[in-house]
Structure 1
Amino acid sequence: MYGLLVAVSATFFFVSYFVLRPLHNYFRDPKGLRKYPNINAIAGITNIGFMYESMQGFRSKKLAELHKVHPVIRIGPNSLSYGDINAIKDIYGHNTKCIKGEFYETLSGTHFHLADVVDKPEHARKRKVLSSAYALKNLEGWEHKVADKTERFVRGCDKHCTAPLSKEHKRPEPKDCTFDYRAWSNFFTLDAIADIGLSERLGFLDQGSDLVVGEKMDGTLHKVNFRDCLHSTVRAQSQIVWSAEWYKFNEKWSRYVSSAFARYWKLNEGWNDIVYHRATQRLARYRAGEVLDDFFQALMEDKNGVPNNLPWGEIVAEVSIMMNAGSDTTAIAMNNVMFWLLKTPAVLARLRAEIDAVLEPDEVVAPYDKVKHLPYLRACLDESLRITPPTTFGLPRRTPAAGAPILGDFIPGDTTVSMSAYVAHRDERIFPDAETYKPERWLADNAKEMQPYFISFSAGARGCIGRNISYLEQTVLLASVVHRYDFALPHPDWQPERWETMNLGPGPMPLKVWRREIPGAAEVVAVDEKASLI
């Protein structure tokens, strides 16, 4: 009898809390959000609706289709997605009253980092600490590190070169498609950010893999694959974070009901170990008196050598976001632009002519000064960032307690609002023929009018602080490889697999690669493995 009573009570609680309460709130509609169409049948009632969409792998694509009809979509009981580009300044602009909210609080660790800190004065403090390190004037200091990584990328590429693709065949032999551009571009960005940020040589480009040492809190060292750990972490988080109040419970519960999630969370431990080892090793060098020109030095002290006295947890958090955001989005961008160039040969031919005109036939690494102002090169990069922005999901913001107007409508306080870059970049009023890769649009007379709606690096005061580094890396690598090589996709209709977490990550992109015959070049030789590198 007692067992029956417990079972009935538990059932009553479950039905009341998870069914009746959400339905009651939905029909009571205290914020007036029921007038907006839902992304699916249950999104207005429970966050499980958006969690389901996240598990499908490309929720922003569905939002883009819905936003063709509806300027505002309800994606959760307290969450709205916007599809009208005029909402950008209301949500993300410099004068917005909206702030980062529970999404960032949920995923933060013991200390906030620059990307997830919610409090505006605290964000300003953090940005001030790092602004000197990320400043545009430091490009000269970063360039030799990027050139070094480019030369190592070229060395790896040379090892995978095959005979040229015959003009009669448009489809290379599968055995020749051995160069995974997705992996190698990620090796590049990981090596680059570790060097720029921590003065550490990871050596991924040299070894052709991302096997790296991690360190547990007890000092135990072990080896893990960097990309597996990072990507598994964000894949798990991105599927369950939308129900913030249940995040911790779902994190524990998912380990036992899903073998995939059990693997994700295990690899997440590896990610923590990777970050911890990077931070402790760099701290040891700092304490030993090494003064290095990197981001870690900026964390420890200002430009006058005055200590910042940051807590250790904050330093580790900043190293974590630097190794994450500082590598993944740029690698995705590098992969995507190569894909679009190979899918549009006329664009590639025009870009190659522009690059060949400024580089010597035998130049291996494109000097940044020679290529940084090439208009078509920048247009190719920006058009790739537009049509396939690396960060696709709508960066969530929270309206202030007093509420705020968005698109002329008053949105009550503490409501989550967002706009996906993938959606914004498909507005035909600003980007005609939006599904077509057309770099020429960025050279047109109205190109400046598009800039406020180009949000691959977000917008406003919370825009990406690493924008300059990303463009430097993308520009030098793309110019160098387009000048030196020809590439081919596995077949003309080939498309990458894409999975959306917070970023829209492509799967492997195996290419056939061979050396170009550059007019005016002497006989081209491979980069000497034993030659001294920068």
Structure 2
Amino acid sequence: MAPTATSNGSHLLSHIQDVALAYPLQLVAVFILFRLLWNKFQPQLVSIPGPPLAAYTKLWRLYDVWKGQAHLTAVALHRKYGPLVRIGPNHVSVADPSYIPVFYNIKENYTKSGFYPIQCVSWKKQPEMNLFSTRDPNYHRVEKRKVGAAYSLPNLLESEEAIDSCIKLFMDRLDEVAGKGQPVDLGAWLQYFAFDVVGEVTFASKLGFLEQGQDVDGMMKAIEGMLTYAALCGQVPEWHKYLLGNPAFTWVMPAMETWNQVLVFTLKAINGRASIKRDGELISADTGGRDMLSRWASVKSSDPLKMSTRDIIVHLSTNVFAGSDTTAIALRAVVYYLCKNPHYMAKVVEEIDSADKQGQLSTPISYKESTTLLPYFNAVLKEAMRIHPSVGLLMERHVPPEGVEIQGHFIPGGTIVGINPWVTNRDKSVFPDPDEFRPQRWLEVSPDRLKQMDNILELNFGGGSRKCIGRNISMIEMQKVLPQLFREYTVELTHLDKEWHIVNHWFVQQEGVVCNLRRRRKN
């Protein structure tokens, strides 16, 4: 009787199983080799240059991010290979600024990658996406409509008096620590200030950083750890579901939510003004203030369908998580580069003193005064943010199904593309001598070139509909506290010849802005 197709198939399957049992390691090695070669030789991507190992495996990028200098790697790679660099099997870094409005647009057809959802909170044993972490454009639009008005510049300026109180406390605390005649870690104090401003704007209450002169409840350290995890796991986001994103963890270990110190800290701040019942409902909130908790609690009390307790907690915790680091990084950059370039510092101080002598400045300096009366300071602020943007990794987006052609290369749908602000901020065709700190570049160009420069710099805050919703808070802080600091103090680096220490784990954090402070005037 002739063998049937079914019996032949059974024999083949049996033979494969025998081989698999006899040579398991060899089969695994063959599979890994096949996968690596498949990664490398994808037809549309194989011609894009880049580090040889990067095209084979994501582990090259993971190692690069682990070293903490990925922003410098990105700049070096584009200077070596050109406007397109393949930094992973399915990742392409783009240096052409003309693609900023393409990748980061209002339509959101270039959707966020798996890098972002890692940065969400767990609430009632469920991952809750915020405006930053969600990949869903519709969800983002719905949530942004709920809270967007609170972040508008006019509404935030209603809290300017509260921000002034933080500036006054900041100066008083600097008086105390500088009065001891010892160097001051101004970089740390600037972050304490940024945290307390977040508290005033968000909860109508300072969070205690300036008052205590330290990292309250280990929040700065906790956020640093969360960013490090997000930066590393974000390079291989499929690992997250086996690590901190494993849904079984919240059931096996119910106390896991208390590990998220940002959430715990947020709930603590809320409970200072309101009560959260066991079922998670927010009650007894003051709805008459200008802070975000008051605004959103008022909406919830009048129409619970428009704003839930979950919405309030998610958006408030996002402020706590993202509201201080990026601002503090920019503040440190301004201080550091001015101290490294005393002739520029002298020009800033001269401009502030001139406006002060003419009676044009309030105490503290108002946002309107800073933005309209201090053009050289504003050029310094832009230049510091250009040369040291807060974000130091690729802002990843998925190419839509139809694909896109960039610099003569067709990039298929599903490929992850993006731009690193450290790269475009150093585009020498737009910013000559890009590695030099030259504030005057913002004052010596034509209106058209200035607009181009501003558009590139704006990527520091993201782009399109996904632009950082809290950018106005950050700009108000910087516009007010820095000129007031230089108005009241002579600021010098304690060790002028010593470089600061920089680590890039998503945000490019600095250490070593240790200064000598001397009083110039007392208000």
- What TM-score comes out, normalization by structure 2 length? 0.84
What is the aligned counterpart of 2:42 among 3, 23, 29?
A: 29
Deviation at 1:430, TM superposition (A): 0.5
Give the conservation status (yes or no) of the 8 Å contact 2:115–2:230. Answer: no
Residue in structure 1 matched with residue 275 of structure 2 by the alignment: 284
Which gives a bigger RCO, structure 1 or 2 (Cα 8 Å, sep 6+)?
1
Structure 2 counterparts to residues 12-161 of structure 1, below 5 A:
12=26, 14-17=28-31, 19-29=32-42, 32-38=44-50, 40-69=51-80, 70-94=82-106, 97-109=109-121, 110-161=127-178
Structure 2 CA distance, aligned partners of 1:137 and 1:269? 33
Residue in structure 1 matched with residue 454 of structure 2 by the alignment: 451
RMSD, aligned α-carbons: 2.9
Structure 1 CA distance, aligned partners of 2:36 and 2:178? 61
Deviation at 1:363, TM superposition (A): 6.8
Q: Which amino acid aligns with 1:145?
A: A
Structure 1 CA distance, aligned partners of 2:225 and 2:327? 18
Residue in structure 2 matched with residue 358 of structure 1 by the alignment: 355
Distance 1:140 1:320, change over 3 A: closer
Distance 1:235 1:8, change over 3 A: farther
Give the conservation status (yes or no) of the 8 Å contact 2:40–2:55. Answer: no
Q: Which amino acid aligns with 1:452?
A: N
Structure 2 CA distance, aligned partners of 1:480 and 1:46? 49
Residue in structure 2 matched with residue 166 of structure 1 by the alignment: none
Q: Which amino acid aligns with 1:193?
A: V
Of 357-366 and 133-142, deviating more is 357-366
Distance 1:145 1:9, change over 3 A: farther
Structure 2 CA distance, aligned partners of 1:111 and 1:193? 21
Residue in structure 1 matched with residue 13 of structure 2 by the alignment: none
Structure 2 CA distance, aligned partners of 1:27 and 1:424? 27
Residue in structure 2 matched with residue 243 of structure 1 by the alignment: 236
Distance 1:511 1:465, change over 3 A: same
Structure 2 CA distance, aligned partners of 1:233 and 1:350? 39
Q: Which amino acid aligns with 1:293?
A: R
Structure 1 CA distance, aligned partners of 2:265 and 2:28? 40
Secondary structure at the counterpart of residue 402 of structure 1: coil
Structure 2 CA distance, aligned partners of 1:284 and 1:243? 39
Structure 2 CA distance, aligned partners of 1:358 and 1:411? 53
What is the aligned counterpart of 2:191 among 186, 189, 201?
A: 186
Q: Which amino acid aligns with 2:69?
A: F
Of 481-490 and 121-130, deviating more is 121-130
Q: Which amino acid aligns with 2:229?
A: A
Structure 2 CA distance, aligned partners of 1:515 and 1:235? 38
Q: Which amino acid aligns with 2:207?
A: L
Structure 2 counterparts to residues 217-256 of structure 1, below 5 A:
224-249=217-242
What is the aligned counterpart of 1:342 among 315, 339, 343?
A: 339
Deviation at 1:67, TM superposition (A): 0.6
Secondary structure at the counterpart of residue 109 of structure 2: coil
Deviation at 1:25, TM superposition (A): 1.5
Secondary structure at the counterpart of residue 73 of structure 1: strand
What is the aligned counterpart of 2:292 among 292, 295, 308?
A: 295
Of 277-286 and 90-99, deviating more is 277-286
Structure 2 CA distance, aligned partners of 1:308 and 1:35? 52
Distance 1:358 1:275, change over 3 A: same
Distance 1:359 1:83, change over 3 A: same
Distance 1:120 1:298, change over 3 A: farther
Give the conservation status (yes or no) of the 8 Å contact 1:136–1:468. Answer: yes
Residue in structure 2 matched with residue 370 of structure 1 by the alignment: 369
Give the conservation status (yes or no) of the 8 Å contact 1:371–1:476. Answer: yes
- 1:203 matched to 2:208: yes
Secondary structure at the counterpart of residue 103 of structure 1: coil
Distance 1:350 1:228, change over 3 A: same
Unaligned runs of 5+ in 1: 164-174, 212-223, 254-264, 519-523, 526-534
Structure 1 CA distance, aligned partners of 2:423 and 2:109? 22
Deviation at 1:277, TM superposition (A): 2.9
- 1:176 matched to 2:190: no
Of 187-196 and 137-146, deviating more is 137-146
Residue in structure 1 matched with residue 8 of structure 2 by the alignment: none
Deviation at 1:310, TM superposition (A): 4.3
Residue in structure 2 matched with residue 397 of structure 1 by the alignment: 397
Structure 1 CA distance, aligned partners of 2:362 and 2:175? 14
Distance 1:8 1:363, change over 3 A: farther
Aligned length: 478
Deviation at 1:233, TM superposition (A): 1.3
What is the aligned counterpart of 1:273 among 264, 268, 271?
A: 264
Deviation at 1:507, TM superposition (A): 1.4
Secondary structure at the counterpart of residue 156 of structure 1: helix
Deviations 1:382-404 (A, max 9, x none): 11110000112221111122323
Structure 1 CA distance, aligned partners of 2:103 and 2:205? 38
Structure 2 CA distance, aligned partners of 1:432 and 1:161? 39
Structure 2 CA distance, aligned partners of 1:466 and 1:512? 31
Deviation at 1:326, TM superposition (A): 1.4
Deviation at 1:145, TM superposition (A): 1.4
Deviation at 1:9, TM superposition (A): 6.4
- What TM-score comes out, normalization by structure 1 length? 0.82
Structure 1 CA distance, aligned partners of 2:22 and 2:177? 66
Deviation at 1:323, TM superposition (A): 1.0
Deviations 1:59-113 (A, max 9, x none): 1111101111321111111111112222222212345631112112344341210
Residue in structure 1 matched with residue 124 of structure 2 by the alignment: none
Q: Which amino acid aligns with 2:268?
A: H
Q: Percent of counterpart pairs with the same letter?
A: 26
Deviations 1:128-184 (A, max 9, x none): 212210112124312111111101110111012259xxxxxxxxxxx732x111111
Residue in structure 1 matched with residue 25 of structure 2 by the alignment: 11
Deviation at 1:8, TM superposition (A): 6.5
Residue in structure 1 matched with residue 384 of structure 2 by the alignment: 384
Structure 1 CA distance, aligned partners of 2:481 and 2:423? 28
Residue in structure 2 matched with residue 470 of structure 1 by the alignment: 474
Residue in structure 2 matched with residue 258 of structure 1 by the alignment: none
Structure 1 CA distance, aligned partners of 2:334 and 2:22? 58
Deviation at 1:309, TM superposition (A): 4.6
Unaligned runs of 5+ in 2: 1-18, 122-126, 247-255, 277-281
Structure 1 CA distance, aligned partners of 2:259 and 2:323? 18
Q: Which amino acid aligns with 1:89?
A: P
Deviations 1:250-292 (A, max 9, x none): 5599xxxxxxxxxxx9996434432343345555286214113
Q: Which amino acid aligns with 2:483?
A: A
Structure 1 CA distance, aligned partners of 2:294 and 2:29? 54
Deviation at 1:453, TM superposition (A): 1.6
Give the conservation status (yes or no) of the 8 Å contact 1:130–1:298. Answer: no
Deviation at 1:328, TM superposition (A): 0.9
Give the conservation status (yes or no) of the 8 Å contact 1:129–1:298. Answer: no
